[in-house]
Structure 1
Amino acid sequence: MGFETHFECLLSNSLALEHLELTQCTKITCLKIPFALQQLSRLSVFECSSLKVIESKAPNLSSFFHRGFRVNFSVVETLQMKKLDMGCAIHDARANLPSIMPNLETLVIESVNEVVDAPMLPTKFIYLKHLTIRMITGSTISRPYDYFSLVSFINASPSLETLILNVTLRMVNESIFTDSQLRHIPEHHHGHLKSVKITGFSSAKSLVELTCYILNNAVSLECLTLDTIYGPRCDQDKYRRCFPMIDGVLTEAPRGLAAIRTYIEDKVPSTVNLTVLEPCSRCHVRRRVQTSSQSDNAVSI
């Protein structure tokens, strides 16, 4: 009898199980959760490299968290699902989740090398209150992502209260300073959106357009945070140093700050607290000095 069979037997006899967490388990390729686990409400899977398929028949599963290699995740009963945190293409999440998991309240998407913009669709996330989108792109990606297409998520979420967009990629988008003609779409007032944070903010035109749209339509907005770098900072309790930045991010940061001053600051209502974060003067200043010095040397040669 193999490990997976033993594990399935264990699950089938754990009728009072409420939270199942698997961490770095390399012996499971297919995780099947039986209907008998009616008390199971939370499922967390971390870095299980061999896992390819997760099938859940647990009728009251309301929270699913996954980090690691992409898996095929299927749920028989989805009406109870309230919190979903997993790697997923933004395009697929917008197209499929409103109908598959209509009662979602918290959605965290981690997208790697996204190549298709978010579609404009009539379907709604009626109960969604908290949305986090993490975009990770490697240095080989050359196609710019249209951040303005994320308006589709905002317009589809009438109950949305918090929005976090983490952009972890190199600058390949058209800069607002290259083309300053902003796109506009019909107004769609949002009465619940109170907090918006964008990390990895740059001078990308579509990112500026998204921010301006939020300022023009989020009538209940209380705070807007624009951070020109991404990742943890040293002023947070558990971090001694900021997340290291590649040269391209530090080079782009001043342009991002200039875009905020030029196109965003004058659109911020007096009722909104705007916080703009520059690269850390302790962790990133030396790297910036080195980069500037190298650039100066290149020019003088």
Structure 2
Amino acid sequence: MPFRDAAQSACVSHAFLRSWRCHPNLNFTEETLCLKQSARGKKIDNILKNHLGIGVKTLNVIIPDSCKVDTHCFNHWLQIAITPGIEEVTISFPEHCKTKCSFPCALLFGGCGNSIRHLHLTDCAFRPPVGFDCLRSLTKLHLYEVCTTGDELGNLFSNCFTLEQVQLISCSELISLRIPFWLEQLSFLHVSACYMLQVIEINAPNVHTLKFYGDPVHLKLGASAKVKNLEFNLSKNSSVSYAITKLPSTVPTLESLGVSSYSEINTPMVTDKFLNLKCLRIYLCVYEAFSPAYDYLSLVSFLDASPALETFIVNQKDVKHGSVFGNASHMRQILGHKHDRLRKVQINGFCTAKSMVELTCHILENATSLESLTVDTIFDGFMVGADVRRCSIQRRSKCRPIPRDMILEAHKALTAFILGTSWEGYLLPLS
């Protein structure tokens, strides 16, 4: 190499080295390292040893399941990277280390943790001790398959006055979760698949969105709590029936409710009311315990219990029902039920089930302020409140093929709907 080129390369190398030693974002994943298992740990070790530990803003360490990491070595990496000024920490241990690896809370003492705003931990134990006051700037806490208890989370919450979002997924040791009143900034709480959980107590005044998926729990809201948006699914339980019987008195401030159910009985009539509920989304999906005789017309109970309801969306997928064709019984009518605030109705996965046709006709007859009715035989969303998407979002020219049996069901459903609305004395265009 010519002397001049060598000199320029040396200058660039020194400049790059100085830049790297103060690089603010450290991102170690299997994709970025692209190394064999034997060399992966050495590479991270060399990078962190050469880093000055100054100016680090984000640390992202995703250790693949195939990688065996020495706990002492891993703690040494964190000790180098977690310094005053760091804002985001994402640590994912190998799944087999969940009961062995514990996030070293001691590294957060001495002011090192007070600048952290986002903390994401996966497959480890997290044991904040009594008097833990090291995450004073924390706004987002995400724990996935993390071993921690309600008391340990209470130690964390004791000084996290800036906390805005909490997400707890598959935290198997969690039995009781209490959100204290001094978390005034907390607005979003997501709890999923924590199957030992028995109690959720929310006293924070500004938690407006709660997402819960799992076994039934005792939900307690303090006098100042005002949950307005709730999405939930009870594992292998009748979520819709639970919602209408339990939630009006438990969460009286609800304005938006999304319920997904994989096992359902007919919706009962109740006297309690959702006085503030404006948007209701129900997702029903086939499961072993889902009765093919489910009566969609029983959902009128939910409409009656929601006098302020404006938007009603039903999503159903793969639930098998007897067709209205060949059914000699008369179309049922429920008299004396008016839904004068209902403006938008959408039924995705519309089929020829007699009770679904009856529900649609009931809405047309009794929703005096109805502005929009959409019935669509296709539904391929899998989340509560999901959009109907049959085309790829990334590649708009690619759309999923529609099976022949679904096309035939669409024609039958159209005929059933027209016949149903004609029986009721009017024929409306489909949207």
**TM-score normalised to the size of structure 1?**
0.77
The match for 1:81 is 227
The 3-state SS of whatever aligns with 2:430 is strand
CA–CA distance in 2 between the matches of 1:156 and 1:142? 24
Do 1:51 and 1:71's aligned partners in 2 also have CA atoms closer than 8 Å?
no
Does 1:59 pair with 2:204?
yes
Summarize deviations over 1:267-292 as a string: whole Å, max 9, x none.
6979x7631xxxxxxxxxxxxxxxxx
**Equivalent residue in structure 1 for 2:257, among 91, 107, 115:** 107
**Corresponding residue for residue 167 of structure 1:** 316
Determine whether 1:14 maps to 2:14.
no
On the 8 A contact 1:38/1:58 being kept in 2, the answer is no
Q: Size of the alignment, in residue pairs?
A: 270
Deviates more, 1:92-101 or 1:137-146: 137-146
Distance in 1 of aligned mates of 2:358 and 2:395: 32
Alignment-derived partner of residue 331 in structure 2:
182
2:391–2:400: 8 Å Cα contact kept in structure 1? no
- Which structure 2 segments of 5+ residues have no match? 1-125, 128-147, 381-387
Question: In structure 2, do the counterparts of structure 1 residues 71 and 141 end up closer, same or farther at CA, with 3 Å as the change threshold?
Answer: closer
1:189 to partner: Cα distance: 2.4
- Counterpart for residue 273 of structure 2: 124
8 Å contact from structure 2 (residues 277, 308) kept in 1: yes
Q: Secondary structure at the match of 1:119?
A: coil
Q: Would the aligned equivalents of 1:212 and 1:264 in 2 still touch at CA under 8 Å?
A: yes
After TM superposition, give the deviation of residue 222 of structure 1 in Å: 0.8
Most deviating of 233-242 and 143-152:
233-242
Q: CA deviation at 1:105?
A: 0.6
Q: Which residue does the alignment assign to 1:197?
A: 346
Partner deviation per Cα, 1:138-188 (whole Å, 9 max, x = no partner) = 256454100000001111211111000001133233535423511112132
1:227 corresponds to which residue?
A: 376
- Further displaced range: 133-142 or 240-249: 240-249
CA deviation string 1:7-57 (max 9, x = no partner) = 3322222122222233x4545533332333233222123x54556345223
| In 1, Cα distance between equivalents of 2:178 and 2:395 | 38
Q: Deviations over 1:239-259 (max 9, x none)?
A: 755678777655533321221
2:430 partner letter: L
Q: Conserved in 2, the CA contact under 8 Å of 1:171 and 1:249?
A: no
Unpaired segments ≥5 residues, structure 1: 276-301
Quote how far apart the aligned CAs of 1:81 are.
1.8
Greater Cα shift, 130-139 or 253-262: 253-262
Tell me the distance in 1 between the aligned counterparts of 2:293 and 2:395. 32
SS in 2 for 1:226: strand
1:92 aligned residue (229, 235, 242): 242
**Residues 210-260 of structure 1, C-alpha deviation per residue, up to 9 Å, x if partnerless?**
000100011111111101121242357457556787776555333212212
Instruction: Report the equivalent of 1:274.
Output: 430
Residue aligned with 1:86, SS: strand
**3-state SS in 2 of match to 1:9:** helix
1:151-162 maps to which residues of 2 (within 5 A)? Answer: 151-162=300-311
Rounded to whole Å, the distance in 2 between the matches of 1:32 and 1:138 is 33
Q: Is the 8 A contact 1:135 1:168 kept in 2?
A: yes
Q: Distance in 1 between matches of 2:332 and 2:306?
A: 21
Cα contact 1:124–1:156 (8 A) shared by 2 = yes
User: What does residue 35 of structure 1 align with?
Assistant: 181
Q: Which has the higher contact order (CA 8 A, sep 6+)?
A: 1
SS at the partner of 2:293? coil
Seq. identity, %: 34
Q: For residues 414 and 180 of structure 2, what CA distance do their matches in structure 1 show?
A: 52
Q: Which amino acid aligns with 2:250?
A: I
Shift of 1:265: 6.3
Q: Kindly indicate whether residue 421 of structure 2 is the aligned counterpart of residue 264 of structure 1.
A: yes
1:125 is paired with a residue whose SS is: coil
Partner of 2:360: 211
**Partners of 2:395 and 2:368 in 1: how far apart?**
35
Letter in structure 1 aligned against 2:389: R
| In structure 2, C-alpha distance between the alignment counterparts of 1:239 and 1:141, rounded to whole Å | 35
Determine which structure has more spread, i.e. the larger CA radius of gyration.
Answer: 2
SS in 2 for 1:144: coil
